[in-house]
Amino acid sequence: MKVVLLPGDGIGAEVSAVAAHVLRELPLQLELEEHLFGGAAIRETGDPLPPETLAACRAADAVLMGAVGLPELDRADVRPEHGLIRLRRELDVYANLRPARADGVDLLVVRELVGGLYYGQRGTRPDGTVFDTMEYRPDQVERIARRGFEIARGRRAQVTSVDKANILDTSRMWREVVERIAPDYPDVELDHMLVDNCGMQLVQAPGRFDVLLTENTFGDILSDVAAGVTGGLGLAGSASLGTDRPGIFEPVHGSAPDIAGKGIANPAAMLRSAALMLRHGLDEPAEAERLEQAVDAALAAAPTPDLGGGATTSELTGAVLSELRR
């Protein structure tokens, strides 16, 4: 199985190295191939997603990615994040899965990833007005909704569809499409919730949720809220899936330039992303389970500074490897 590794920037490169080390310890036939991406690629080629990198990703079974972003490029015309948006679109990974687990909480955000506000028309008018347009086609909504219902069948069979149907036409269409296909899944319970109420409920009663089905922007925000109430971004991985391989698997945290190079980055989110890759991208659920359990045990034994402990990146990595060997 061929995995393309895109280390990215800042701590992305550090936690990517940890993931590569741990994956090589598993009893799997994995070929890891590293390519330039993000700010590192801009520095070397001027393009955050060079053609060689895109071609390698297309040919892979899965793409494992570190965080991207460099402070000196925040206001540049070409930014590292542009490469991420392009790669998602090129691979058509429309379903972003972001699990959030803690005591009494086990929810999954299923976020539409290649439509909506981030991909709509944008520009500046002569009078200085700036606009970004949210656009969705019914078929885009249907395919992500079906993915959400299908995933819910393997969980607790509850879908909460999140929208702003009291204000937005896109949300009214979203709700209509979800309602139309819901009878195809009679074993799954469906309810609708406005996004502002959902944000409050995630903070006050996150245990009530099973699958949260959202459009792109709402899902981006709500999944970070869900991560915050279950331990923080340093623990949160994600899977972005299309109809076929390859999927993209990445931690949801940023490149954290303030701690880059200090050896204290928490690699748990990257390792959990690698576990999601094993489960959803490479059909290796048993090894995914082993890795997830090893990460959970290691975090308890050797928490990093973001979790109130003092373990270094290397020490937490060692704890994960010890658990796997045990």
Catalytic positions, written as ranges: 118, 164, 196, 220, 224
Task: Compute and round to an integer the Cα radius of gyration of the chain.
Answer: 19
What is the Cα–Cα distance from 40 to 45, expressed in whole angstroms? 9
Q: How far apart are CA 19 and CA 15, in angstroms?
A: 6
C-beta atoms surrounding 174 within 10 Å: 29
Q: Where are the beta strands (DSSP E) in the chain?
A: 2-6, 31-34, 62-65, 95-102, 105-112, 122-124, 130-132, 158-163, 189-194, 211-214, 237-241, 247-251
Sheet holding 158-163, edge to edge: 31-34, 2-6, 62-65, 247-251, 237-241, 95-102, 105-112, 211-214, 158-163, 189-194
The DSSP letter of residue 258 is T
Closest by Cα among 236, 208, 247, 197 to 57: 247
Q: Which amino acid is at 61?
A: D
Tokens 């590292």 map to which residue?
A: 80
The answer to whether residues 29 and 63 touch, using CB atoms and an 8 Å cutoff, is no
